[in-house]
Amino acid sequence: MVPIHRAGWPFIAIFACGAAVLGWVSEPLGFVGLVLTAWCIYFFRDPERVTPMRDGLIISPADGVVQMIDRAPPPDELGMGPEPRPRVAVFMNVFNVHVNRIPIDGTITAASYRPGKFLNASLDKASEFNERQSLTVTTADNQEIAFVQIAGLVARRILCHAKEGDTFRAGERFGMIRFGSRVDIYLPDGVEPLVSVGQLAVAGETVIADIRAQEPARVGEIRL
């Protein structure tokens, strides 16, 4: 049995009650309610993860598809300057695990919430206009990695319990986004991603980048 995130229990209870009411009205409707309740339980699953342990590794903060790799300035509210940095965007659909994890050992040195729109999170402009929670983690050797939880078309609630001054280890949970969304990771300048667009990332396990690596950015292709 996979553990359930505590934020999911109120929703599971609501879905289960709804299924009971629908079942009282009609057996087919009750079956639909039961399926939706099962999906809700599945959505809020919170499995354990095995995180690679080595200084310099940047681990994926989210489950999902690596949707985009480009260069962009971190959110203004983090105060990291206007210079573009390598950015990796991981898109979570409604079937992915939505618990988010810290990408690298360090201390949260900036945390800022900004309300906004709820555009499709797969759109590039979602990073600018959508509701978001932006964070910076600073490592022991003063490397800054920004990561941003971005709400999506269906997602309407960002949960984040990380705050300035908190110290985390890579792979530890810091929040979640409900019902489809995206997380962007901004790497230090000169650090190349070790993932490719279209690749599946696993929160707390997939190595997004290695600060110590000297190799160029990786490319990938679908092979049959």
Give me the residue spans of the domains in the chain. 6-43, 57-210
Looking at residue 100, its amino acid is N
Quick one: pLDDT at residue 125?
Answer: 67
Give yes or no: 26 in active site.
no
Give mean pLDDT, residues 142-170: 87
Taking CA atoms, 198 is separated from 40, 48, 88, in Å, by 26, 24, 11
Write the pLDDT tens digit of every residue in 23-60. 888 888 888 889 999 888 888 889 999 999 898 999 99
Cα–chain center distance at 147: 9
What pLDDT does 119 receive?
66
Q: For the residues 152-171, what does the mean pLDDT come to? A: 85
Question: Of the residues 60, 127, 134, 181, which is catalytic?
Answer: 181
Average pLDDT over every residue of 7-34 = 87
CATH architecture of the domain formed by 57-210: Distorted Sandwich (2.70)
Output the six-digit token pair for 219: 């490319």
Report whether pLDDT(155) > 60.
no
pTM of the model: 0.86
Cα separation of 40 and 94, whole Å? Answer: 10
So what's the pLDDT on residue 122?
Answer: 63
pLDDT digits (tens, 9 = 90+) for 75-107: 999 999 999 999 999 998 888 888 999 999 999
CB-CB contact of 180 with 167 (8 Å): no
Q: How many residues does the chain have?
A: 224
Spatial contact of 138 and 109, defined as CB atoms under 8 Å apart: yes
